[in-house]
Structure 1
Amino acid sequence: MLLPRPASVHRRSGAFPLDEATGLTAPPELLPTAHWLLDALRRPTRLPLPLNTDAPRRIALELDDALGPEEYRLTVEPEGIRVAGGSRAGVFYGGQTLLQLLPPDVYRAAATGHAPRWSVPAVTVEDRPRFAWRGLLLDVARHFMPKHALLRLIDLLALHRLNVLHLHLTDDQGWRVEIRRYPRLTEVGSWRASSPLGAAEDAPDDNRPHGGYYTQDDIREIVAFAADRHISIVPEIDVPGHSQAAIAAYPELGVTDARLGVRTRWGVNPHLLNAEESTVAFYRHVLDEITELFPSLHVGIGGDECPKEQWRQDARTQQLIAERGLADEKGLQSWFTTQLADHLGTLGRRVLVWDEALEGPLPDSAMIASWRGTAGAVTGARRGFDVLSCPDHLVYLDYRQSEQDDEPIPFSIPLTLEDAYSFDPVPAALTAEEATRVVGGQANVWTEHMDSPRTVDYYVFPRLCAVAEALWTTGERDFGEFRVRLQAHLARLDAFGVEYRRPDGPLPWQTRPGVRGKPSTREEWDALIDRLTAGIRTAAPTSPPARA
């Protein structure tokens, strides 16, 4: 009943008893993984589990050069357990599988006093992931997630073998990371006066201030905590749209002279950054601090949902377009993107942009996050860009989960557990060669309607379990077989304290009676996505970039 499903499992007779006679051994390079596993085992069992001693029975952690970087082999016999991996990450994933072979109470934070007999069935598990990028985007700009809840979520990602947390740190409604050169980004930009109560265009304000941000020390702690679990934190600073919180803090960044506050409504916003050299310099300085905090190779700079009307109507912007020899406002956005992408390149990083960026030229090193269906993945891969698949109709976990009337704030189309399980990051339209450009996929969690961590639980789980299996498991997948294993896996989530959506719908306190959503039919949504992606499907192709 393992999840994600391993490549192979061979059961044998007998079991390994986990008791006072058990110890753990590990070479020096695996000590961080050993300490993580010991902590995970000691808390619920209260067993001593000494490290690197002559205990009668041992759990041995080992590196094996014959295995791939994230591959592992877990061998459980009555006399001992061996967890071998091709790297520290592989050994860590083997340790996660070992935990799943124990009773679900292993995921509790302390012993309950009614502990089961701790034993591990004799088995050999051999496993490896299908994709290198297995992620979740979490939007902390619309609703801030406190640090302790974010660390808990990271542990849940690790449990499901996910290895990327894409943090959407800035938007119109909030700026969530301390930038010491520009303190007003958090002094002003990290909180708003109210939020809409619901998804309808005329939704009333709740008249409740909302805010929060991570200090640089918080970020360092989050990054280190994630790294111990082999998760990379990919930051995103959204430009040149979705930037009203920054403009509220530093009005000189805006196109007009209007004094804006941090935005208190959802939806696409007409207010853009201006395209002055001084604004580009401002964001270069921001990215300098971001790259000092986040060691990830990729840094997101957004580029999505950027209406150009302010630029069209502004005389100074039109002058800049002419001076730079650009064709139009789309060319100006490409210019803006390229300035920041080139700067990130000097810092040894690669830019991650949403698929709207395919409407214009892009640096060779750019990676495309394809969210509006699969058009961005197909177009990006065919043009030679690396692609991250996150199609809205399969992995946008803020979408409503059923047609039931009691779904909380129902938004967009229904995205069921089975829909999420059907996710394949590689579009069928790609050739085998083009498919090699797809580095993996992720689920995206936009939090307009998730005002607490427990609400995030409801929207994310168990659909993220399905996405995790789609990204990890090799070979054919069967939803019926997955659902059987998921039923057992829910006991682990219960022990962990996850407030997931039940198969028959929300519990009473998970509903939002009287709060209107914005549901859509699949036909309406498909037509909208088709219109939105016309620009990238008809844009003049560029020469394929060299593989980075």
Structure 2
Amino acid sequence: MYIMHYPIIPRPNKLIERKGFFILNEETCVKTSQECTKFVSYLKELVETPTGFTIDINSRDKVENTIEFLLNKNLALEKEGYHLNITEDKIVIKARESVGLFYGMQTLRQLLPPEIESNSPIEDIEWKIPCVSIEDYPRFKWRGHMLDVCRHFFGVDVVKKTLNLMALQKLNVFHWHLTEDQGWRIEIKKYPKLTDIGSKRADTQLKHSRSRKFRGKPHGGFYTQEEIREIVEYAKKRFITVVPEIEIPGHSQAAIAAYPELTCFGDNFEVASTFGVKKIIYCPGKDEVFKFWKDVLTEVMNLFPSEVIHIGGDEVPKDRWQECPDCQKLIKEKNLKNEEDLQVYVTNTMASFLAENGRRLMGWNEILDEGLEPNAICHYWAHSEKEVLKHIKMGRDMVNSKNKFTYLNYGYKGMPLEKVYSFDPVLEGLEGEELKHVLGLETPLWTEWIPDQKTLEFQAFPRIMALAEISWTSKENRDYTSFFQRLQAFEKRLDYLKVNYANEEERNPSLIARIRKLIRGK
């Protein structure tokens, strides 16, 4: 009964089954206050095309067949929580904040037949919504998805579809990876060559990082500042915060191709056409490099209202710093021990600059150091879990993207759906007040080997749905069998949304196939 009538993903934390159905028809009307009108518009946009109904608003004398939105600041709910009560006569969504009403709407949407996602009229269907009482709220406040648009560029339409699908799953942070060795994707007015030169590469490596095969044609693209503002506003309407990532000090060959003076020896390089970690990185020994970073981040902050700005900080080979007179001079002047300390100095300088502007730095876990600015957020992906655990116990906030469970670019053979669903972002050994420093989780999707939207969606779905449930649903309410059955019922909705998801056999390859993969080391 539960799975048949309530195929909701992520699973609500409190659900009481009721008998009967609410029937959405041409007589249905919406009752709401002025402050909730945007949710009425969202509902109308969702239902009017597939149903052919015109939803009436605020029929005062109407008491049956109504949908009501209520905001009540005094409700005993968390900020993102909601109540959804459906009887045969009425649907009521209550929340303390607007975001809660929005998430209640997403649950109501999933209770409608999947045909509701159609962008053309559907005939001969009864729009039945099962009666239910739901009280729901998220486990974590950071429920993120990261898209790398540097290794392969994806246009505004793909980003908007990504945001729509995130909203359906109650994900609320879009981490936008915008700069890399293989392409600079954000327009910076003060440095036009970043996109004139840095957004284009001559070719693209195929298959793997040691391959000598190439696509045989240039690749490029970037977002204008106008497009970025459009996307940020589009996300905001869906209660999604866009967190930009501007890599500092590594993964920077595209910027250096545009402005060679930013590297240690001022030598010329092309935007990288191959993948893997590159040794061509910024030179912190030059004052003009810090000026460049601050200028870029100033324009970034003017585009993105997010409190958090991600600076990467991972995979920084320091070979050139060891040979660079400017870097060695700075190490001596600042009484630093070595090149590792120099990166900490860079990170802390940028953290202070962001803090002066009311922002907060985030970086991959390679930025961790006992001397690191305490307010910097650790984004855990790999390497020493013990080091990350130590910093959390010291009071540092962390977002968990442990690669073996969350990297959606990994193949299904090594990271099948069932394994993904077993992930828990809380590191073993945390307890009490320490738990509040686990902000949540994020699902990175790196695109070295993902050249098109079809592959992008295949890698993400349905694993991103499993991770959405992990980030929203309390651990005691999670159950893989239930998730798997709800997912099967959900597939028709994905079909109407035109999502290219991995089918049942593809997302959980056989054990034999997975063992063969491990033996071959592929």
Q: Compute the TM-score of the two structures, normalised by the length of structure 1.
A: 0.89
Compute the displacement of 1:20 (Å): 1.0
Whether the 8 Å contact between 1:61 and 1:84 is mirrored in structure 2 is: yes
* Mapped partners of 1:326, 1:299: distance in 2: 26
**Residue aligning to 2:487:** 486
Aligned residue number for residue 136 of structure 1: 145
**1:25 aligned onto 2:31:** yes
Q: Answer with 262-271 or 118-127: which moved more.
A: 118-127
Q: Matched residues in 1 for 2:167 and 2:402: separation?
A: 22
RMSD over aligned CA atoms reads 1.8
Q: For residues 447 and 129 of structure 1, do their structure 2 counterparts lie closer, same or farther at Cα, with a shift above 3 Å needed?
A: same
1:6 aligns with 2:12: yes
Give the deviation of 1:262 after TM superposition: 0.7
Deviation at 1:383, TM superposition (A): 2.5
Q: Secondary structure at the match of 1:457?
A: helix
Q: Quick one: which of 42, 57, 70 aligns to 1:62?
A: 70
- CA distance, structure 1, for counterparts of residue 255 and residue 388 of structure 2: 30
| Equivalent residue pairs, number | 501
Q: Which moved more, 1:376-385 or 1:319-328?
A: 376-385
Alignment of 1:398-477 (within 5 A): 398-402=409-413, 414-476=414-476, 477=478
- Find the partner of 2:295 among 267, 277, 285: 285
Q: CA deviation at 1:375?
A: 4.1
Aligned mate of 2:360, from 326, 350, 355: 350
Instruction: Kindly indicate whether residue 218 of structure 2 is the aligned counterpart of residue 217 of structure 1.
Output: no
Match of 1:74 among 61, 84, 88: 84
User: 1:406 maps to which residue?
Assistant: none
Where do 5+ consecutive residues of structure 1 fail to align?
403-413, 507-518, 526-548
Residue 520 of structure 1: how far off its partner (Å): 7.6
Query: Could you tell me which amino acid in structure 1 is paired with residue 297 of structure 2?
Result: L
Corresponding position of 1:53: 59
> Is contact 1:131-1:440 (8 Å) kept?
yes
Pairwise CA distance, 1:125: 1.2
Q: Distance in 1 between matches of 2:346 and 2:16?
A: 54
Q: Secondary structure at the match of 2:251?
A: coil
Q: CA deviation at 1:91?
A: 0.5
- 1:309: which partner in 2? 319
Residue identity in the other structure for 2:142: W
- Counterpart residue identity of residue 187, structure 1: D
Is 1:85 aligned to residue 95 of structure 2?
A: yes
**Conservation of the 8 A alpha-carbon contact between 2:209 and 2:276:** no
For the residues of structure 2 that align with 1:79 and 1:296, how far apart are their CA atoms?
41
Amino acid at match of 2:440: G
2: distance between equivalents of 1:495 and 1:209? 34
SS across alignment from 2:135: strand
Given residue 446 of structure 2, which amino acid in structure 1 is its aligned partner?
A: W
Farther-moved stretch of structure 1 (53-62 vs 299-308): 53-62
Paired with 1:135 and 1:241, the residues of 2 have a C-alpha distance of: 23
Matches within 5 A, 1:141-540: 141-275=150-284, 276-359=286-369, 361-372=371-382, 374-375=385-386, 377-402=388-413, 414-476=414-476, 477-505=478-506, 521=518
Seen in structure 2, the aligned counterparts of structure 1 residues 241 and 75 have a Cα distance that, compared at 3 Å, is same
CA–CA distance in structure 1, aligned partners of residues 387 and 82 of structure 2: 33
Mapped to 1, the partners of 2:135 and 2:407 lie a distance apart of 31
SS of the residue corresponding to residue 388 of structure 1 reads strand
Between the aligned partners of 2:415 and 2:159, the Cα distance in structure 1 is 24
1:36 positional shift: 1.6
Following superposition, the deviation at residue 330 of structure 1 comes to 0.7
Distance of 1:523 and 1:307 partners within structure 2? 29
Distance (whole Å) between structure 2 residues aligned to residue 26 and residue 194 of structure 1: 55
123-132 or 430-439: bigger deviation: 430-439
Q: How far apart, in 2, do the equivalents of 1:360 and 1:428 lie?
A: 21
Larger mean Cα displacement after TM superposition, 370-379 or 151-160: 370-379
Q: Output the TM-score relative to the length of structure 2.
A: 0.93
SS state of the match for residue 458, structure 2? helix
| Distance 1:522-1:100 versus aligned 2 partners, 3 A rule | farther
Q: In the alignment, is the contact (CA less than 8 A) between 1:389 and 1:425 conserved in 2?
A: yes
Amino acid at match of 1:344: L
Cα deviation, residue 376, structure 1: 5.2
Change (3 A) 1:133 1:522: farther
How far apart are the structure 2 equivalents of 1:141 and 1:483?
Answer: 33
Give the 3 Å change call, closer, same or farther, for CA 115–451 of structure 1 in structure 2: farther
Give the deviation of 1:115 after TM superposition: 4.9
Query: Which amino acid is 2:269 matched to?
Result: L
Alignment partners' CA distance in 1, 2:369 and 2:45: 49
Q: CA deviation at 1:361?
A: 2.1
CA distance in 1, matches of 2:14, 2:520: 40
Offset of residue 397 of structure 1: 0.7
- What CA distance in whole angstroms lies between the structure 2 residues aligned with 1:318 and 1:166? 34
CA distance in 2, matches of 1:468, 1:57: 32
Structure 2 residue runs of 5 or longer lacking an equivalent are 1-6, 508-515
CA distance in structure 1 between the partners assigned to 2:183 and 2:332 by the alignment: 33
- Offset, 1:521: 4.1
